[in-house]
Amino acid sequence: MTTERALRTVDMHINVGPQHPATHGVFRMVLEVDGERVAGCTPYIGYLHRGFEKLAENEEWQEVIIHLDRTDYISQFNNELCYAMGMERLLGVEPPERAEYARVILAELNRIVSHMMFYGAFGADVGALTPFLYAFRERERLQRLFEAVSGARLMHFYFRAGGLKEDLPEGFADELRRMLPAVQHGIDECDRLLTQNEVFLSRTVGVGKLAASEAIAYGCSGPVLRASGVREDVRRSDPYSLYPTLDFDVPVGKNGDCFDRYWVRLAEMRESVRIVQQCLDRLPEGPIRTPVPRYPHFRVEPGEIYVHTENPRGDYGLYLVSKGGVQPYRVKLRSPCFCNLMALGPMLRDSYLADAVVILGSLDIVLGEVDR
Amino acid sequence: MTLPADIDALVRLFVVANVVLLVVLVLIYIERKVLAHIQQRLGPMRTGFHGILQTPADAIKLLIKEDLTPQSADRWVFQLAPFLVFVPIFMMFVTIPFTGELVVRNLDLGIFYLVAFSSLHVVGLLMAGWGSDNKYALLGGVRAAAQLISFELPLAFAILGVVVWSGSLNLKEIVELQTGIPFLLLQPLGVLIFLVASLAELSRTPFDIPTAESEVIGGPLVEYSGMRWSIFMLAEYASLFATAAIAAAIYLGGWEWPFAPRAGELDGWAARLAGVTWFVIKTLGLIILVFWLRGTLPRLRIDQLMGFAWKMLIPFSFINLIITAAAVVYGGVILLAGWLATGGFAYAVYIRSRR
Amino acid sequence: MLGVLKGLVTTWKTHWRAPVTVQYPDERLPLQPRYMGFPGLMWDAEHDEPFCTGCQVCMRYCPTGCMFVEMKDNPKFATGESKRRKIVADFTINLSRCISCSICVEVCNFEAIEMTHHHERAGYYPDQVAGLPTLFQMSADHRAGVGQKPGHETRNLL
């Protein structure tokens, strides 16, 4: 027997997902592994495809919001904000000031909730048990607040063209003011648990590097792009709603590795607390809805518009086309998760099997948005 | 009344076997409660007072579950594997002294025996990984083999420090040398290396790489169910208990330190009880430390783990051995260098993580 | 090692805090007043009949199509007891399909339907389709629970 024949090896194909515990929903990737090294990756998406864009064409303008909730089902308020702004621009109405403030507060709180979800899942990906529970403890506070505001913990259906569904509940501002230090403390605690941990650092620093040029080329946005060192935030580069008047920083990473993506999100949570604090201080009294016609008469003039917001996962864009009438003609979603996921290939180069899980976790994908 | 030696050993073995089973049930309960409270949960609460009967209930459930063997599995290898994991670990209890007398057999080569048996179960894990005919299991099994064999060396070298200092391989004699100062203070680097290496030997966080839930979904155990799976669990917790007991004996002074019953002060059962109490407190403390670490730390990657074993633990365990040997020859003051080396070890860990 | 110690201190501290979870079926976290469970039908006590006229607008707008509504002539209209010409004859909601979105509440012209706090449907029997009596009961239970009167502010918004 020759040595060559004795040492003949084959690459093993490992199926990660859609039921694998580390794939965040129903993403599936077939990893080609050479021992522990990843030699190739074939991603499969579409397990959660519900045809959101087609469904939207058969719903009335305002009713589409319930489907928006279900695209990125961890940052619902941000999605609703994007769509509501699009409708308002098509209709040519302005929401009252109180509604604007309420929207920004809720969207930023939703950013904290979403990043907490990332924190927990990322902790589980690198093998720690406790971060997930800490993150959900912090989420729960805010979820209960959301429940008090909109009546639902996840699928809020709260932002409408021209304002909000109903006013913020009584005592909302006081409750939130009382809660913010606790939220801040929760973020600090999560920070203390993981960020400086040597085991965590050795798992994330230098893993899954994405150069700034590559990130831009793949159309990444949000924390994934900012971790690579690009200071790009829709709230700053194409300001909407109240953001031009608010004072906040855009945290930027240096190396574009998993640790930077984690760190940027943690820093963003702190910025969100700052934004909420500012909005609370200025929250005015007043109407919460600019009157728009009710459902049989709700018509949008023919036209089209592209509107995008900075979602927790990146640049969430909606292209709305109206041909007049009660239903949108076309709703196109520019999904930040989908574009970020495209960068998985270059990130997985020369990685280990265990890294693949961490890299996927650091992208923080939500399959409801990738598959739509 | 003294029984014939063979019968006596059998009786002792029977008692120890049952104690181990009981201890495993208690340990699983403690782990669940400790983890739950670390995560601000309640943990098991329903079955019995504060869920105290939850583990027996789970054990009964596992025993009456169907014993599945995958169709494509290598049948004999698959079915034999759990026992080959459990038996070597159980064999370790033969010479673990709970007190001077409460031991199945106090072997003169006790430590040699323990070190020999502590890594035999790698065969069983590898068999489980291969026999399952599952890619996750295979990866997990190979990971287990690599990890357990690599960490066997620093573990043995760390213990060797104690052996060199005490000049004995007999656990009882080693414990009795610690009436004044426990070896914890004399061998700080050795303790650290022993703890880290035994965490890896036990495949517990942060070294639970063979069974990593988020990567290989339980590794070698992925295809097992019911009774065979519960034997794996039994082995895991039994080895945790055994390792903690060894650590308590060779580093924390076992039943002797800090209050060794002087001759005449306490005698007979009272002395034994005091000794066992001390021993159990120390063992349990170490076990809870392991659970606490599990609730705090993430998991290392396999290449980092191997690098850690070969580039950090083994050189430092050599340093520990050299310091101890020098101390034996030139006087005990040299052992203070061990504390310096411990600081160096901590610093090296810090530097490695920042690269 | 410092980071590991920091983490250990954090978990040590949380270990001594009170748990945040509760034993679910024995203990329940209170629902917020606005909580949206499944929709129920309100009862007009003044005329001793439902508010619902069976106009089917909710059925048409329901995004999951989980509702079925039928209309009939109101017998009380002929006798002059009520001003409603039409009244609901049959109303079923397949609660296993309902997504609690509150669109039915918002499109209703008669303020006849409301989101109740009822949200637990687990049971031994597959009685997932709620008929008229169940829907009335759900609303009545809800009102008794939260002390609400008909005419909630969230109506007629869409």
CATH value at residue A313: 1.10.645.10
What is the share, in percent, of chain B residues with pLDDT greater than 70?
Answer: 93
Question: Mind spelling out the 3-state secondary structure of chain A?
Answer: CCHHHHCCCCCEEEEECCCCCCCCCCCEEEEEEECCEEEEEEEECCCCCCCHHHHHHCCCCCCCHHHHHCCCCCCHHHHHHHHHHHHHHHHCCCCCHHHHHHHHHHHHHHHHHHHHHHHHHHHHHCCCCHHHHHHHHHHHHHHHHHHHHHCCCCCCCCEECCEECCCCCCCHHHHHHHHHHHHHHHHHHHHHHHCCCHHHHHHHCCCCCCCHHHHHHCCCCCHHHHHCCCCCCHHHHCCCCCHHHCCCCCCCCCCCCHHHHHHHHHHHHHHHHHHHHHHHHHCCCCCCECCCCCHHHCCCCCEEEEEEEEECCEEEEEEEEECCCCCCCEEEEECHHHHHHHCHHHHCCCCEHHHHHHHHHHHCCCHHHHCC
Asked whether the predicted pLDDT for residue C152 surpasses 60, the reply is no
Closest Cβ opposite residue B295 in set C4, C11, C20: C11
Neighbours of chain B (3+ CB pairs under 8 A): A, C
CA distances in angstroms from C113 to A336, B174, C40, C91, listed in the order given: 38, 79, 6, 11
C13 contacts on B by Cβ (under 8 Å): none
Tokens of A44: 């499969």
- Is B305 at the interface with chain C, CB within 8 A? no
Most confident of A167-176, B26-35, C132-141: B26-35
- Is A76 at the interface with chain C, CB within 8 A? no
Q: How far apart are CA C140 and CA C136, in angstroms?
A: 6
Say how many domains are in chain A: 1
Asked whether the predicted pLDDT for residue C155 surpasses 50, the reply is no
**Residue appearing with tokens 């003609």:** A329
Amino acid at position A117, single letter: M
Q: How far apart are CA C154 and CA C158, in angstroms?
A: 10
pLDDT band at B255 (very low <50, low <70, confident <90, very high): confident
Q: Which DSSP letter does residue C150 get?
A: S
Average pLDDT of the residues in B162-167: 84
Residues 6+ apart with CB under 8 A from B50: B33, B44
Q: How far apart are CA B193 and CA B37, in angstroms?
A: 28
Residue A203 to residue B205, Cβ atoms within 8 A:
no
In this predicted structure, what is the pLDDT of residue C125? 67
Q: How far apart are CA A33 and CA B70, in angstroms?
A: 24
Task: Please provide the average confidence, as pLDDT, over all residues in chain C.
Answer: 80
The parent domain of residue B99 ranges over 5-354
- In this structure, of A208-212, A288-292, B265-269, C109-113, the range with the lowest mean pLDDT score is B265-269
Number of C-beta neighbours around residue A51 at 10 A:
12
B296 contacts on C by Cβ (under 8 Å): 4, 7-8, 10-11
The parent domain of residue A120 ranges over 3-370
In this predicted structure, what is the pLDDT of residue C153? 46
Say whether the peptide bond before residue A291 is cis (omega within 30 degrees of 0).
no
Number of C-beta neighbours around residue B350 at 10 A:
16
ipTM beyond cut 0.85: no
Give all domains of chain C, ordered by start, each with its CATH number. Answer: 32-146 (3.30.70.3270)
Asked whether the predicted pLDDT for residue B141 surpasses 70, the reply is yes
CA angle A350, A351, A355 (to 5 degrees): 170
Residue B208 to residue A127, Cβ atoms within 8 A:
yes
Give the residue ranges of chain A where pLDDT is below 70.
Answer: 1-5, 295-296
In this predicted structure, what is the pLDDT of residue A112? 92
B45 contacts on C by Cβ (under 8 Å): 23
In this predicted structure, what is the pLDDT of residue A110? 92
Nearest Cα to Cα of residue A206 among B304, B93, B204, B5? B304
Nearest Cα to Cα of residue A168 among A109, A113, A111, A116? A109
Contact between residue A192 and residue C10 where contact means Cβ atoms under 8 Å apart: yes
Closest Cβ opposite residue B297 in set C7, C17, C21: C7
- Separation of CA C37 from chain center: 4
Number of C-beta neighbours around residue B329 at 10 A:
8
In this predicted structure, what is the pLDDT of residue A115? 92
pLDDT band at C82 (very low <50, low <70, confident <90, very high): confident
Closest Cβ opposite residue B40 in set C1, C7, C19: C19
Stated length of chain A:
372
- Measured between its terminal Cα atoms, the distance across chain B in Å is 65
Asked whether the predicted pLDDT for residue B261 surpasses 60, the reply is no
Say how many domains are in chain B: 1
- In this structure, of A100-114, A250-264, B95-109, C81-95, the range with the lowest mean pLDDT score is B95-109
pLDDT band at B354 (very low <50, low <70, confident <90, very high): low
Contact between residue A57 and residue A323 where contact means Cβ atoms under 8 Å apart: no
Interface of C with A (CB under 8 A): 1-4, 6-7, 9-11, 14, 20, 29, 31-36, 61, 63, 99-103, 106-107, 115, 153-154, 156-158
In this predicted structure, what is the pLDDT of residue A11? 78
Q: Which helix (H) or strand (E) holds C127?
A: none
Asked whether the predicted pLDDT for residue C107 surpasses 60, the reply is yes
In this predicted structure, what is the pLDDT of residue C122? 76
CA angle C143, C148, C150 (to 5 degrees): 95
Name the β-bridge partners of C21.
none
Nearest Cα to Cα of residue A303 among A326, A328, A280? A328
In this predicted structure, what is the pLDDT of residue C156? 44
